[in-house]
Chains A and B, each alone.
Chain A
Amino acid sequence: MLNVSGLHLWRGDRHVLRGVSFTANAGQCVLLTGRNGAGKTTLLRAIAGLLDPEEGQVQWRGASARSTRDEFHSELAYLGHEPPLKGDLTGRENLRYLVGIRRTLSADEIDAALTRTGARDFADRAVRTLSAGQRRRVALAGVLLSGALLWLLDEPTTNLDADGQQLVARLIEEQLARSGIVVAAVHHTLSLGAGEVVPLELEAA
């Protein structure tokens, strides 16, 4: 369903993505590995449509992701390095706005997602007051809440303790079991109990 072919991208002088190609179907998790600067973040952003590749195509459900941008985005959840949360709002409020603009949410759904990622206890404190790991748990609840079919995760286990890393693995497994697709950039391999893993290693320029 997600098809990336011949992606080339330059950032200034650096030829960051040099002909990246892969296909991911329902129930598959693409694990992006590579050293720092290899282009993992660039690739994720290019797939999401935040960056424009010079050459190559990203196709979703057989159509160009760029020409069906809004439909593509409505099925996509992107989580970057930093959790996209407003410091002055509580976790719960953040989720209400972050995901609420995508689909109608009930308070119960938000609660359920927060509970699943272990963030319920601190969901009503201003995000400013939370630790990095706690923020990530809130952000993960957002990804879960979005109900998106395709997850693009940039180093999702950053700042998480051992429990948290297990949580991420379980969440990905559950997403794959729902016939979702995950593309995750990771530093150390993520061991998934279930679901098909497609490894993709990027080399630094």
Chain B
Amino acid sequence: MRTGSLGVAQLVIARDLRLAFRKPSQLLQPLMFFMIVATLFPLTLTPEMSRLRDAAPGVLWIGALLSSLLALESLFREDAQDGTLEQFALSGQSLTWMLFAKTCTHWLLTGLPLALSTPIVAVPLGVPTEALWSVVASVALGSFALSLIGAISAGLTLGARRGGVLLSLLTLPLAVPILVFGADATHQAIIGGAIGPPLRMLGAIAVLGVTLAPLAAAAAVRIGLE
């Protein structure tokens, strides 16, 4: 009997989770990268807390962005190389749905831990404790949107020369809205202002991403597999 959509999603998620936990050290690398990058900012700017607090949204978000871009590498590349991604495209099931499941799993393994670890970086940057939960929420939402959009560029750059750099080059301009609203949400949280509007915009982008990006990613992957 043909596997239903729920079954397909369950299998895809279970597969990726199982694979990830067979190599758990890989999961830590983007996190370590984020923390190192965030540490470099004070070293290059200033140890003064008040100045750092002003720079905190930028530091947090650029660190999170760069770390997410690195993690995007692992979304499709290995599956494309060993031929399993191709088999997904040939399974007769919705590639859009499967890639959406893959992207969500990928975010669970990279974006969400990143968001949860932001307090570790935010506190030394002078972010007040009351602001921390909104920092975590905005980075979680923003990294999810970024994973969805990044899946498109990841598909397009499969098999391209210097694929990794190209992936970042393609995704960065598209990430500008996420950065703008995410950093503003963080900034508002720090100064105790209105986090609602930027957070809502971030949410709107995420919703738009959920509806459109997986379709584009499936088309991109089919092109990338040629």
Contact = CB atoms under 8 A, between A and B. Distances in A.
Partners in one complex: yes
Nearest to B83: A84
Contacts of A50: 86, 89-90, 225-226
Contact of A101 (B11, B18, B22, B23): B11
Interface residues of B, number: 28
Where chain A touches its partner, the secondary structure class is: loop
B50 interface: no
A73 B226 contact: no
B15 interface: yes
B88 interface: yes
Interface in B79-133: 82-84, 86-94, 98
Contact of B88 (A72, A75, A101, A104): A101
A22 to B, nearest CB: 21
Interface residues of A, number: 31
Interface centre among B2, B22, B82, B92 (most CB of A within 10 A): B92
Interface string B21-52: 01100000000000000000000000000000
B8 interface: yes
Interface of B: 1-3, 7-8, 11-12, 14-15, 18-19, 22-23, 82-84, 86-94, 98, 225-226
Given A84-B82, A96-B11, A97-B12, 4 more contacts: A78-B86, A100-B11, A101-B93, A102-B93
